[in-house]
Amino acid sequence: MVKIIIVAVMLVIAISLFSALRTLVRNKDGDKEKTVRFLAYRVGFSVLLLILLGVASMMGWITPHGLPPAPTPPAAEQSPQ
């Protein structure tokens, strides 16, 4: 369920970004405010996504994977003194 919410928030971020791009390319009067508003929404949803990922990771709802854990180095040999 959490993964679906994460993907949905990512889609909202992408839609907001492309909406800002569309208003920027059209370049009509009054579109500057719309562009800034869409970019502000994108920043807000990005912050929301980071908070959601942090909470989900701390609660154990998602676990990082993909990279194997780093191997432990062999114990250093002690030289006799």
Contacts of 41 (CB under 8 A, 6+ apart): 16
Decide which of 69 and 2 is more confident: 2
Which range has the worst mean pLDDT, 9-13, 17-21, 65-69? 65-69
| pLDDT of residue 71 exceeding 90 | no
Domain boundaries, the chain: 2-59
Contacts of 35 (CB under 8 A, 6+ apart): 20, 23, 24
Q: What are 29-59's pLDDT values in tens digits? A: 777 888 899 999 999 999 999 999 999 999 9
Do residues 37 and 46 make contact, with C-beta atoms less than 8 angstroms apart? no
Task: Collect contacts of 72-81 with beta carbons under 8 A, ≥24 apart.
Answer: none
d(CA 65, CA 78): 36
Q: Both tokens of residue 52?
A: 């959601």
Band of the pLDDT at 78, cuts 50, 70, 90? low
